[in-house]
Chains A and B, each alone.
Chain A
Amino acid sequence: MTRRWRSPARWLVPCAITGLLVGGVAQRTFADEASDWLEKMNNALATRNYDGTFFHLSEGRVETMRIVHRVRGGRITERLQSLDGSGREFVRNNDELTCYLPDQHTVLVEPRQQHGPFLGSLPKFGADVNEFYNIVEVSNTHVLGRAARVIAVNPKDQFRFGYRLWLDEKTAMPLKTQLCDSRGQVIEQILFARLDMPESIPDGDLTPAVHTEGMRWVRQGATADSASPALSAYRASQLPPGFHLTVSGAQTLGDATVPATHYVYSDGLATVSVFVEDPHAEPPHDPAAAPMEGLARVGSGFAFSTVVQGHQVTAVGEVPAQTVEFIAHSVKSYGSSDLPNR
Chain B
Amino acid sequence: MSEQIREQVSAFLDGELPNSETELLLKRLTRDAELRESFGRYALIGESLRGGGSARLSQNFHTRVNRAIDGEPVSAVNSRSPGTELRRWWRPAAGAAVAAGVMAVAVLSFQQRADVPAVVASLPPATVGAITDASLTEVKPHEALSYTVPAAVGDAPAAMPAARLTSYVFAHSKYSSVLGQSNVLSGLLTDADDQETATADKVSLPKGVHDGSP
Chain B: minimal CB distance from A264 (Å): 5
Contact status A184-B22, CB under 8 Å:
no
Q: Are A116 and B190 in contact (CB under 8 A)?
A: no
A183 within 8 A of B: yes
Q: A115-B177, A121-B179, A298-B184 are in contact. Are A60 and B31 (CB under 8 A)?
A: no
Cα A76 to Cα B168 in complex, Å, equals 24
Contact B163 A104, beta carbon cutoff 8 Å: yes
Q: How far is the CB of B107 from chain A (nearest CB, A)?
A: 12
Highest count of chain A CB atoms <10 Å: which of B18, B52, B137, B143: B52
- Which of B108, B174, B194, B200 has a CB less than 8 Å from the CB of A293? B200
Q: Can you name the residue of chain B whose Cβ is closest to the Cβ of A106?
A: B163
Q: Which of A171-216 contact B (CB under 8 A)?
A: 177-181, 183-191, 193-194
Evaluate contact between B53 and A253: CB separation under 8 angstroms: no
Closest approach, in angstroms, between the C-beta of B77 and any C-beta of chain A? 23
Among A231-287, those with CB < 8 Å from B are 235-244, 246-247, 251, 253-254, 262, 264, 266, 269-271, 273, 275, 287
Task: Give which listed residue, B13, B178, B191, contacts A122 with CB less than 8 A.
Answer: B178
How many angstroms between the C-alpha atoms of A317 and B199 in the bound complex? 17
A37 at the interface (CB under 8 A from B): no
Residues in chain B near residue A290, CB distance under 8 A: 158, 161
Inter-chain CA distance A1–B13, complex, in Å, is: 63
Instruction: Name the interface size band of chain B.
Output: 35 or more
Given known contacts A85-B192, A305-B160, A254 and B184 CB-to-CB distance under 8 angstroms: no
Residues of A close to B37: CB separation below 8 A: 60-62
Given contacts A141-B15, A181-B56, A241-B138, A271 and B187 within 8 Å (CB-CB): no
Give every chain A residue within 8 A of B13 (Cβ-Cβ).
191
Task: Find chain B residues with CB under 8 A from A68 CB.
Answer: none
Given contacts A184-B53, A186-B56, contact A86 B192 (CB under 8 A): yes
Asked if residues B126 and A306 are in contact (CB atoms below 8 Å), the reply is yes
Q: In the complex, what residue of chain B is closest to A178 when comparing beta carbons?
A: B53
A326 contacts which chain B residues (CB < 8 A)? 145, 147, 209
| Residue among B26, B122, B161, B183 with most chain A CB within 10 A | B183
A99-B109 Cα distance, complex, nearest whole Å: 33
Question: Given the complex of chains A and B, what is the CA–CA distance between A235 and B40 in angstroms?
Answer: 41
Question: Does residue B83 face the partner (Cβ distance < 8 Å to A)?
Answer: no
Interface bits B66-92 vs A (CB < 8 Å: 1, else 0):
000000000000000000000000000
What does the 1/0 interface line of A314-330 toward B look like (CB < 8 Å)? Answer: 10111111100110111
A86 with B190: in contact, given A59-B113, A241-B141, A293-B200 (CB under 8 Å)? yes
Query: What's the Cα separation between A112 and B105 when bound, in Å?
Result: 41
- Whether A82 contacts B189 in the complex (CB less than 8 A), given A293-B122, A318-B180, comes out as yes
B49 contacts partner chain A, Cβ-Cβ < 8 Å: no
Q: Do the beta carbons of A299 and B184 come within 8 Å of each other?
A: yes
Cα(A62)–Cα(B207), bound, Å: 31
Q: Which residues of B contact A188 (CB under 8 A)?
A: 183, 186
* Chain B residues whose CB sits within 8 angstroms of the CB of A94 once the complex forms: none
CB-contact partner of B26 in A123, A193, A253, A298, under 8 A:
A193
Select from chain A the residue with minimum beta-carbon distance to B137: A238
The interface residues of chain B lying within 8 Å CB-to-CB of A237 are 128, 131, 134, 136-137
Say whether A116 contacts B58, CB under 8 Å. no
Nearest Cβ on chain A to B12's Cβ, whole angstroms: 7
- CB-contacts of B1-42 with A (<8 A): 12-13, 15-16, 18-19, 22-23, 25-26, 29-31, 33, 36-37, 39-41
A161 touches B180 (CB 8 A): yes
- Chain B 157-170: CB-based contact to A (< 8 A → 1; otherwise 0): 11111111111111
Which residues in A have their C-beta under 8 angstroms from that of B159? Answer: 292, 294, 296
| Least Cβ–Cβ distance between B153 and chain A, in angstroms | 11
* Cβ contact of A321, chosen from B139, B141, B201, cutoff 8 A: B201
Q: Are A314 and B184 closer than 8 Å at their CB atoms?
A: no
Which residues 39-64 of B have a CB within 8 angstroms of A?
39-41, 43-44, 47, 52-58, 61, 64
A143-B15, A194-B19, A220-B171 known; A298+B165 contact, CB < 8 A: yes
A47 to chain B, nearest CB (A): 15
A90-B185, A123-B178, A144-B19 given; A157·B141 CB < 8 A: yes
Contact of A253 among B22, B57, B167, B191 (CB under 8 A): B167
On whether the beta carbons of A60 and B61 are closer than 8 Å, the reply is: yes
Q: Which of B143-158 contact A (CB under 8 A)?
A: 143, 145, 147, 149, 157-158
Not counting A193-B29, A296-B198, a sample of 14 additional A-B residue pairs whose C-beta atoms are within 8 angstroms of each other reads A120-B177, A121-B179, A144-B22, A153-B179, A165-B179, A191-B13, A220-B170, A221-B171, A273-B175, A275-B168, A287-B164, A295-B200, A318-B178, A319-B180
Which 7 pairs, one residue from A and one from B, show the smallest C-beta to C-beta distance?
Answer: A299-B187, A294-B200, A318-B180, A329-B126, A86-B192, A116-B177, A340-B136
